[in-house]
Amino acid sequence: METKYLTEKDGDQAAAILRAGGLVGIPTETVYGLGANGLDAQAVAHIFEAKGRPQDNPLILHIPEASWLERYCQNIPAAAWALAEAFWPGPMTMILPRKDLVPDAVTAGLDTVGMRCPAHPVCREIIRLSDVPVAAPSGNTSGRPSPTTARHMLEDMDGRIDAIVDGGPCSVGVESTIIDLTCTPPRLLRPGGITLEQLRSVLGEVAVDPAVTRLLGAGEKPKAPGMKYRHYAPKAPVTVVAGEPARSAAYIAAHAGERDGVICFDEYMSLFTGRAAARPVMDLGPAGDKEEQARHIFDALRSFDHTDVPAIWAQCPDSKGIGLAITNRLNKAAGFHIIEV
């Protein structure tokens, strides 16, 4: 099929395609999503086909306002309304008990469903015009880094989806925070644009799922099915070097092969690009600006797939604030191959 390229003025066309059961690439503030009518099981099945996504990995339903929670969820705890009040519209997904009208195709047969109200104005307009909840995972081929521009999404999805709406680069750059409200205490399943500290300021105690910070052992099952898959991974193997920035930069400079790719903070670019270095170096952003790092992380990982680097080395921030989401994505891209210096 030919993928139609739409702009932010074409929200009505995007909505019409969604209502007719088609697939649309949609800009959100986190990453680009691959959207379909979340009440149409067949349309949702096409998402899994286009991405090559494992069938047991559920999707998030995107809604235009918190009041829609009651249409698709039951036994909604007070905590959900408090979180919605604090962080919606925005980069936070809540796991809640679902109602029967949500197709199994969306939830992968679970009795819970992930719900998010996104903040991107173009995304909100498309959902509002389509008047259905939009089921949307990230718009990458399964296993690849998530797309944060329309061009990145087309790299993976051109010819596989009906249309893409270009809404500019994503302002957050990492996927939504997923918080499970069906257990006590609530549990962080995936760190993202809303930080653990922000969640705790509303909820008090919040547990962190082990899959966020380490590789699970054989037989261990993460609560977010998506967390068990190798993820965000470029083709070359990644090594994360964690620790104080000057030390991790020095370590990489001493150990990286001549042709190895490097992801580093602004301040250390010259350490790797100098002399006659042939290697590609990607800038993660200033060491002190994690928001900027979040916007760069997927672009950095993705860019190496246009090269033939044998390996990739990456600096990473500490895990405070949105640093937890950045380190999680880097560590997962590295299969938790992490060196502490």
Question: Which residues here bind Mg ion, judged by CB under 5 A?
Answer: 138
Report the C-alpha dihedral over residues 188, 191, 197, 201, rounded to 10 degrees.
Answer: -50
Tokens of 136: 């949307």
State the nearest-atom distance from the C-beta of 159 to ligand AMP, in Å.
20
Binding-site member from 6, 110, 134, 161 for ligand AMP (CB under 6 A): 110
* Whole-number Å distance between alpha carbons of 315 and 121: 33
Q: Which residue has the tokens 């069906």?
A: 182
In order of 133, 177, 221, the CA distances from 83 in angstroms are 19, 12, 26
State the nearest-atom distance from the C-beta of 89 to Mg ion, in Å.
20
Tokens of 215: 């590789």
* Whole-number Å distance between alpha carbons of 331 and 5: 34
Counting contacts by CB under 6 A, is residue 113 touching ligand AMP? yes
Report the C-alpha dihedral over residues 61, 63, 68, 70, rounded to 10 degrees.
Answer: 20
State the nearest-atom distance from the C-beta of 59 to ligand AMP, in Å.
6
| CB-closest chain residue to ligand AMP | 226
For β-strands 24-26 and 33-37, DSSP reports them as antiparallel
> How many helices (H) and strands (E) in the chain?
12, 16
Counting contacts by CB under 6 A, is residue 38 touching ligand AMP? no
- In the bound state with ligand AMP, the residue whose beta carbon lies nearer, of 10 and 29, is 29
Region 161-220 residues binding ligand AMP, contact defined as CB under 6 A? 175, 178, 189-190
Binding-site member from 224, 262, 263, 297 for ligand AMP (CB under 6 A): 224
Counting contacts by CB under 6 A, is residue 123 touching ligand AMP? no
Q: Are the beta carbons of 340 and 224 closer than 8 angstroms?
A: no
Q: Segment contacting ligand AMP (CB under 6 A): 12-20, 68-76, 107-115, 160-168?
A: 107-115
The entry of Mg ion, ligand AMP, none near residue 96 (CB within 5 to 8 angstroms by kind) is none
* Whole-number Å distance between alpha carbons of 136 and 123: 11
State the nearest-atom distance from the C-beta of 51 to ligand AMP, in Å.
8
State the nearest-atom distance from the C-beta of 26 to ligand AMP, in Å.
12
State the nearest-atom distance from the C-beta of 107 to ligand AMP, in Å.
5
Binding-site member from 22, 58, 173, 317 for ligand AMP (CB under 6 A): 58
* Whole-number Å distance between alpha carbons of 23 and 36: 5
Residues in contact with ligand AMP by CB under 6 A are 57-58, 60, 95, 107, 110, 112-114, 137-138, 175, 178, 189-190, 223-227
